[in-house]
Structure 1
Amino acid sequence: MDYGVGNLASVWHALHALQFRCRISSEPATLSASDLLLLPGVGAFPAAMAALHRTGLVDYLQSEARKGRPMIGICLGMQLLAESSTEQRPTPGLGLLPATVRALQAGAWHIGWNEIEPEREDPLFGSGWPHSVYFNHSYVVDAQPQHRVFIARAGEPITAVVRKDNVVGIQFHPEKSQSTGRKMLHRVVEGLLCD
């Protein structure tokens, strides 16, 4: 999905390498022809939400999620799925996950490779964890425990993967996390499409 603030090329290449057909668009008619919606993102929450409003995608995404359409948010895209964020100023999010977004403790950044560990079992993700994946963020999603699938530790436990029904958020960058990230991305896409 293209709303002007996503890391589209690297995500597209990762999905293409996994043999998924991809379309990059901000047009609801084009997006509606897809089996799954993927919301990438880099940058700040308020600017990203403003871009989603400008492109008319907020109502579309909320409506599609309510219909049960599979949806994945990556990095900032995961944060946008939450109800609100305190980054720069209080800003409402898409409200697809009962969660809020706040700064990491002491204004820290979480950049680089870190291990994820399961918080609860979810058949979508299988077993065989923990593994190291690549993070780059300074804000975190405070998700409800029943929706947290994986956590990482960066001075505090942080939500690494969250799931509520057909909506999945991945805080790290699976497209930059080598074979581990590709394996998880493949499992999530396949699993959501087969659900």
Structure 2
Amino acid sequence: MKVMKVAIIDYNMGNLHSVGRAVKHVAPGGTQVEITADPDFIRHADRIVFPGQGAARDCMRELETRGLSEIVREVAKTKPFLGICMGMQVLMEFSEENAGVECMGVYAGKVNYFKHLNIAHLKTPQMGWNQIQQKTAHPLWTGIKDAARFYFVHSYYVEPTDQSLVSGETFYGLNYASAIAKDNVFAIQAHPEKSAEDGLRLLANFMQWQP
């Protein structure tokens, strides 16, 4: 029987071990879950988790330094792919962070700074629990109620050009895309590994997903 392999991409950005523990917790027995920067393992894995925390400039630099940019673009087209937090943002073309950063351009769109909304008393970063309104049906929402609460920590939000990508929205000064989905890719701004039962359910759904 073939062993399922899950690659959690290690580019020195993000709460990798927390993500790894959560994925291992929900993975079917015998699944090989590896936190890895090995392009060969990533290319041959059955599922890809692309986490991340920190600044967009640092994220892109680490991906380039480790020779991972192209392999991430490749597997984002070919494998069940879950982006988390910064792993969602850098799929866009451009981020306002660090005076402007060119990102991976998997999808047309940009990443905006909450402070540029100029809303008094809107704290930046958004830190804590907030609701995700499900905008499209998706297998990763299975068993998760609409408007379920997930844990967020971020100062920037995604604005995709194609609004049909938006699978979940969250209100924080405005309604912004907190989850996007297309074909084999699902990406979420919140941290499912920190989001209690609903977060673990989303990860478990990802482990079963057959796009």
Alpha-carbon displacement from aligned partner over 1:8-55 (angstroms, at most 9, x marks no partner): 010001001102531111110121231111111110001100000000
1:24 partner SS: strand
Residue of structure 2 in register with 1:131 after alignment: 148
Q: Deviation at 1:123? A: 4.0
**Distance across 2 between alignment mates of 1:90 and 1:77:** 17
Q: How does 1:150-161 map to 2 (within 5 A)?
A: 150-161=168-179
Among all aligned residue pairs of Structure 1 and Structure 2, give the percentage whose two residues are the same amino acid: 31
| Alignment equivalent of 2:20, drawn from 12, 23, 28 | 12
**Distance across 1 between alignment mates of 2:65 and 2:23:** 27
Give 2:126's aligned amino acid.
H
Is residue 162–residue 170 contact of structure 1 (8 Å, CA) maintained in 2? yes
Aligned positions, number: 192
Give 1:89's aligned amino acid.
A
Give 1:8's aligned amino acid.
L
**Distance across 2 between alignment mates of 1:109 and 1:3:** 23
Q: Which runs of 4+ in 1 moved over 3 A?
A: none
**Distance across 2 between alignment mates of 1:152 and 1:58:** 29
TM-score, length-normalised on structure 2?
0.85
Structure 2: tracts of 5 or more residues without a match: 1-8
Q: Deviation at 1:108? A: 2.8
TM-score, length-normalised on structure 1?
0.92
User: Which structure would you say has the larger Rg?
Assistant: 2
Q: How does 1:104-143 map to 2 (within 5 A)?
A: 104=114, 105-106=117-118, 108-126=124-142, 128-143=145-160
Residue of structure 1 in register with 2:203 after alignment: 185
Q: Deviation at 1:124? A: 4.2
Residue of structure 2 in register with 1:62 after alignment: 73
Alpha-carbon displacement from aligned partner over 1:161-193 (angstroms, at most 9, x marks no partner): 1012112111000000000111112113321xx
Structure 1: tracts of 5 or more residues without a match: none
**Distance across 2 between alignment mates of 1:55 and 1:25:** 11
Residue of structure 1 in register with 2:94 after alignment: 84
Alpha-carbon displacement from aligned partner over 1:66-115 (angstroms, at most 9, x marks no partner): 3x222111011110111111101221211112221110133732110011
